[in-house]
Chains A and B, each alone.
Chain A
Amino acid sequence: MAFAESPLAQPQAETPRLPLLVQLHDWVVTVDHKRLGIMYICTGLLFFAVAGLEASIMRWQLAFPNHDVVSPAVFNRLFTMHGTTMVFLVGMPLILGLANYLIPLMIGARDLAFPRLNAFGFWLSLFGGALLYFSYLGGEGLTGAGTAPDVGWFAYAPLTERAFSRGHSTDYWILSLLVGGIGSVATSINIVTTVVCMRCQGMTLARMPLFVWMLLVVAGMILLIMPPLTAAQIMLLLDRYLGARFFDTQAGGSALLWQHFFWIFGHPEVYVLMLPGFAAASEIIPVFSRKPMFGYAAMVGATLAIAFIGMGVWAHHMFTVGMSTMANTFFAASTMLIAVPTGIKIFNWLATMYGGKIRFATPMLFCTGFLFQFLCAGLTGIMLAAPPFDWQLSDSYFVVAHFHYVLIGGLLFTIFAAIYYWFPKATGKMLSETLGQWHFWLLVIGFNLTFGPQHIAGILGMPRRIYTYAPGRGWELWNLLSSVGVAFQALAVLCFVWNVIRALRQGPPAGDDPWDAWTLEWTTTSPPPEYNFETLPEVQSRRPLWDLKHPHDPDWHHE
C-alpha cells in the first residue's frame, strides 16, 4: 500500500515562525479545506459562547417567579437570537467544519473539489452571522422599533409582517439567513462533488467510512431544504417591502403557508444537524470498542431512510394548527416511522460495543453520554409524534426539553467527542484526559439538571417563550433547578476552553495515530501537510489501517 512507505510519516522539520500579520493574511486568503474547516469550527464555538450567554440571561430571568432581570422585549430578542444562533451559526458551521476538515482526509483526496467555492461558502456563513448580530446596532431603523429580531427563530407569520414588526430587525433576520443559506448550499455542492468524484483508488461507495456516507446524505438534504427556506424568506421580503400578500393575513394571505415553508426546511434541518453527530459516533464508538461498526450496510440504509422519511414529517410541528384528521394521521405515521431506522442505529452502536474492549477516553465518554441522552430525546420524540399527546405538549417546556436533549444531549455531546477525537490530528497535540473528564462530568450534570426538569414544567402547563410567570403554578422548583444547571454547564465549557488553550501551548505531541484507529486520516502526519498525502492512498477495505496492522487477517476477507 502506497501510504505505508510515505515519508510523511516522519515529523516535519521545524519551520521558522512567520510574523503575525502574515499568518493572519494566510488564514484569510486560504482555500485549504483543513484551515477552512478549523475556521468553521472556531466560528461555531465562538457563536456557541454567545448563544450560551444569551441562554444564561434567560435562565437567570426565569429562575424565580416574577423575576425582573430583563424587560419582556429584551427577553424576546434573547430567545430569538439564541435559537437562530444555535441552529444557523453554531450547528451549521460545526457540522460543515467537521465535513470540510475530515472528508478529503477520509477519502484520500488532497482537497475538496472546489476549494475557492469552499472559501466563498465559509465567508458567506461568517458574514451572514455578523449581519445577524449587527442588528443589535442597526435593527432599529428609521421607524424605530426594537433592535435585534424578536419574532422567534421560526418567525411565524404574520408577526413578521410590517404591521407587527416595525423597524429593520426582522429584515436582518431574513437577510442574514439568506446569506448564510447560500453559503451552506455552496458547501453542500462541494461535499457531494468531492465524495462522488474524488475518492482514492479502491474506495468504492461500500468502503467509504460511515462518517463520509452520512455527511454525503446531509449535503444532499441541505440542497433539498435550503431552497424552500430561501423562497419563503424572499416572499417575506416581498411582503414587507413590495406589498405582496403571501403571509399578510389582513389582506387575505396565509399564516399557515409560512409554517409549511418553514418546517419543510426546519424539520429535515434537525436531521441535517443530527446525522453528523451520528456520523462522528459511528467513527468513534468502533475505535474505542476495538471492533468494526456492526451492520455497516444497515447503518447506511438507516441513514438514507431517515433522510427520505425525514422529508415527509414536517407538519408534525403543526399538529395544533387545526389540520384535518387525515393530515394529522398521515404525519403521525411518518413521524413514528422515523423511530425504526433511528432504533436500528442505536442497536447497531450497542452491538458494536458488545463483545468489545471499551476504552473510556474522553471521546468515548462523550459518545456514551450521547447514547443515554439521545435515547431520552428519541423517546420524548415518540410521545410528541402522537398528535393528541402533542396537543398537550406542543409549545410547552416539554418541547424545549425534547429538542435540547436532541441538539445538546445528542448533537453537542458528539461534537465534543469529535473535537476530542480529531483535535490531535488537527493540531498535533493531545488534549488533557483529566480536564476532558471534568468537562464531560460537569456537562452531564449541568445538561441534565437544566433540561430534565423542563419536561416536568411542560407537563405542568408551562408554555415556552414566556418572559415571566406568576408564583403558585407549581413551576418554581423546576425552573430554579433548570437555572442552577446552567452554572455547571458554564464550568464545563470553561474546562474545555482551558483544555484547548493548555494543549495548544504545552500539550504532549500526538503522533500520527494516537487512538490506534483505522481510517485514512490517521495515516498522514498530525497536523497533515497542505497536500494531505504525499502519494494518494489506495484502499482494499473499510478499515485500511486495520489491514495494515493485521496483515494476516485483513478486513477484505470479511466484507
Chain B
Amino acid sequence: MDRPVHLTNIFDPVSTPAQAILELSWLVLWICAGIFVIVVVLLTYILIRFRRRRADTDEPPQVYGSNQIELAWTVIPLLTVVVLFLVTARTIRAVQNVVPSAEALHVTIVGHQWWWEIRYPTLGIVTANEVHVPVSDRARPQPTFLRLESVDVAHSFWVPRLAGKTDVIPNRDNYMWIEPFEVGLYLGQCAEYCGTQHANMLLRVMVHTRDDFERWVTAQQQPPVRDLSVQAGRDLFQATACVNCHTVRETVANGTFGPDLSHLMSRGTLGAGVVDNTPHNLQAWMQNPQHLKPGNLMPDMKLTPQELEHIVAYLATLK
C-alpha cells in the first residue's frame, strides 16, 4: 500500500458503493461549481461596475422587473434541477436496490454505547470493533452485506472509503453493503451522536485476500487458548463479576453486555480505538476503566495489584 492507511477521505473510495457515490458527487460538484462561478463573476462585476462614484447624487433609472428575464432564471435552474434529480435517482437505486448474491458474506453489526459488536452468524464468530472481510475482484465479486442493529441508542456505521453511512437504530434493522477491491485497513467511526463517548467508537475494517480471510476465520473459530501457566488468572477471572458482561467461550463467562474476549489479543485496539491493545494498556484499562475512556460503562472491579496481574496475564494469552 503506497497510500497512508488511516485516511478517511470520501474522495478516495475503494469499494463499489463508495465509488458509485463519488461518481455522482463529482457531477453534483461540477454543476455547483459552474453555478458558483457564474454568480460570483456576475456579483463581483455588479459590485465594481455599479458602485456609486463620489458626488454622483442623481438617482439611477428605476427598473421594476422583467417577466422574460425572470422566466429565464426560473426555467434554467428548473431544468438543471431535473437533470440533477434524474442522475441522483439512478444512483439511489444502484446503491440501495442491491440484493445479496449467493456468495455474499453476511455480517451483523450491533451498536453499543460505546463499542461495536461484530457477529458472523453463518461462521459462528463474535468479535468487537474490527470487521474482517475478503477482498472482491471483478472476476469473482465478493460483496459483504451488513445488518445493522442497536441494543441501546442510535448510532451510525460510517467507513467513508467503503460506503456511505447508515444509521444503526434500536428496534429497527437496517442494511447496507460494501465490496472492497483493495486489501488494507480502513477506518471509520460512529457518526450519530450516542452519548458521552460518541467520539471513541472507532471502526476498523480489515480487507484481506481470500486466503488470509480464510485463515482469520479458522483462527477465530478455534476455542480460546487454554494456557495452564495462567490458570490462576483464569480462575480469578471466572470468579469475579467480569463474567456477567463478557464472554470467553468454553468458560462460565457468558455475558453479552461487553465485548467478547475469546480472542481478545487478536484485535488491534482497546476501548473501541482509544489505545493500542497491549498487555500494558490492558492493565491500565482494567486498573481504572474511567481513566482512558471517561464515562464508559465498564465499572472499576477494585482488583488488588496481584489479582490484576494474574487476570491480565490470563487475558493476554487469548490470542
A371 touches B81 (CB 8 A): no
A328 part of interface (Cβ distance < 8 Å): yes
For B42, what are the chain A residues with a Cβ–Cβ distance below 8 Å?
A: 350
A-binding segment of B84-92, B206-214, B220-228, B240-248: B84-92
State the CA gap A433–B167 with chains docked (Å).
50
Most chain B C-beta atoms within 10 Å of own C-beta, residue among A292, A390, A470: A470
From 351 to 365 in chain A, residues with beta carbon under 8 angstroms from any chain B beta carbon are 351, 353-360
Q: Residues 181-195 of chain B: 1 if any A CB is under 8 Å from the residue's CB, otherwise 0?
A: 000000111111111
A188 part of interface (Cβ distance < 8 Å): no
B25 touches A73 (CB 8 A): no
Q: How large is the interface on A (under 10, 10 to 19, 20 to 34, 35 or more residues)?
A: 35 or more
| Nearest CB on A from B271, distance (A) | 12
For A328, what are the chain B residues with a Cβ–Cβ distance below 8 Å?
A: 92, 96
For A359, what are the chain B residues with a Cβ–Cβ distance below 8 Å?
A: 51-52
For B70, what are the chain A residues with a Cβ–Cβ distance below 8 Å?
A: 295, 298, 344, 347-348
B171 touches A461 (CB 8 A): no
State the CA gap A202–B192 with chains docked (Å).
54
For A158, what are the chain B residues with a Cβ–Cβ distance below 8 Å?
A: 152-154, 170
B-binding segment of A50-58, A102-110, A334-342, A407-415: A334-342
B196 part of interface (Cβ distance < 8 Å): yes
State the CA gap A388–B92 with chains docked (Å).
6
- Using known A-B contacts A354-B50, A379-B35, determine if residue A559 contacts B64 with beta carbons closer than 8 Å: yes
For A380, what are the chain B residues with a Cβ–Cβ distance below 8 Å?
A: 32
B81 touches A340 (CB 8 A): yes
For B36, what are the chain A residues with a Cβ–Cβ distance below 8 Å?
A: 375-376, 379
B62 touches A336 (CB 8 A): no
B60 touches A388 (CB 8 A): no
For A372, what are the chain B residues with a Cβ–Cβ distance below 8 Å?
A: 40, 43
State the CA gap A50–B92 with chains docked (Å).
42
B-binding segment of A135-143, A235-243, A248-256: A248-256
From 20 to 78 in chain B, residues with beta carbon under 8 angstroms from any chain A beta carbon are 20-21, 24-25, 28-29, 31-32, 35-36, 39-40, 42-43, 46-47, 50-53, 56, 58-66, 69-70, 73-74, 77-78
State the CA gap A27–B70 with chains docked (Å).
47
Q: Residues 271-284 of chain B: 1 if any A CB is under 8 Å from the residue's CB, otherwise 0?
A: 00100000000000
For A350, what are the chain B residues with a Cβ–Cβ distance below 8 Å?
A: 39, 42-43, 46
B164 part of interface (Cβ distance < 8 Å): yes
B138 part of interface (Cβ distance < 8 Å): no
B7 touches A392 (CB 8 A): no
From 221 to 254 in chain A, residues with beta carbon under 8 angstroms from any chain B beta carbon are 249-250, 252-254
A260 part of interface (Cβ distance < 8 Å): no
Partner of A322 from the list B158, B166, B188 (CB cut-off 8 Å) is B166
- Using known A-B contacts A321-B167, A354-B46, A357-B50, determine if residue A294 contacts B63 with beta carbons closer than 8 Å: yes
State the CA gap A473–B169 with chains docked (Å).
27
For B302, what are the chain A residues with a Cβ–Cβ distance below 8 Å?
A: none
A460 touches B7 (CB 8 A): yes
- Using known A-B contacts A159-B154, A329-B89, A355-B50, determine if residue A389 contacts B28 with beta carbons closer than 8 Å: yes
State the CA gap A150–B169 with chains docked (Å).
19
B174 part of interface (Cβ distance < 8 Å): yes
- Complex: chain B residue closest to A322, CB-CB: B174
- Complex: chain B residue closest to A296, CB-CB: B65
- Using known A-B contacts A321-B167, A375-B40, A391-B164, determine if residue A332 contacts B96 with beta carbons closer than 8 Å: no
B73 touches A344 (CB 8 A): yes
| Nearest CB on B from A302, distance (A) | 9
- Using known A-B contacts A295-B65, A358-B52, determine if residue A382 contacts B171 with beta carbons closer than 8 Å: no
B88 touches A332 (CB 8 A): yes
State the CA gap A208–B198 with chains docked (Å).
50
B92 touches A344 (CB 8 A): no
- Using known A-B contacts A322-B172, A382-B84, determine if residue A391 contacts B165 with beta carbons closer than 8 Å: yes
A291 touches B92 (CB 8 A): no
B8 part of interface (Cβ distance < 8 Å): yes
For A197, what are the chain B residues with a Cβ–Cβ distance below 8 Å?
A: none
| Nearest CB on B from A30, distance (A) | 39
A525 part of interface (Cβ distance < 8 Å): no
B7 touches A474 (CB 8 A): yes
Partner of A388 from the list B51, B113, B164, B171 (CB cut-off 8 Å) is B164
A255 touches B56 (CB 8 A): no
For A360, what are the chain B residues with a Cβ–Cβ distance below 8 Å?
A: 51
| Nearest CB on A from B89, distance (A) | 5
A473 touches B95 (CB 8 A): no
A469 part of interface (Cβ distance < 8 Å): yes
State the CA gap A250–B152 with chains docked (Å).
8
A344 touches B199 (CB 8 A): no
State the CA gap A325–B153 with chains docked (Å).
24
State the CA gap A322–B109 with chains docked (Å).
15
For B148, what are the chain A residues with a Cβ–Cβ distance below 8 Å?
A: 322
From 362 to 390 in chain A, residues with beta carbon under 8 angstroms from any chain B beta carbon are 368, 371-372, 375-376, 379-380, 382-383, 386-390
Partner of A461 from the list B25, B65, B154, B188 (CB cut-off 8 Å) is B188
A325 touches B97 (CB 8 A): yes
State the CA gap A496–B190 with chains docked (Å).
40
| Nearest CB on A from B8, distance (A) | 3
B25 touches A291 (CB 8 A): no
Other 8 A-B pairs with CB < 8 A, given A150-B196, A295-B64, A358-B47: A294-B64, A322-B167, A350-B43, A357-B50, A387-B88, A388-B20, A460-B8, A465-B193
Of the A-B pairs whose beta carbons lie under 8 Å apart in the complex, a sample of 28, sorted by A's number, is A156-B154, A157-B154, A253-B171, A294-B66, A296-B65, A320-B167, A320-B191, A321-B169, A322-B172, A325-B96, A339-B77, A347-B70, A351-B63, A357-B58, A372-B40, A375-B40, A379-B36, A387-B92, A388-B20, A389-B28, A392-B25, A461-B188, A463-B191, A465-B193, A465-B199, A468-B199, A470-B273, A473-B7
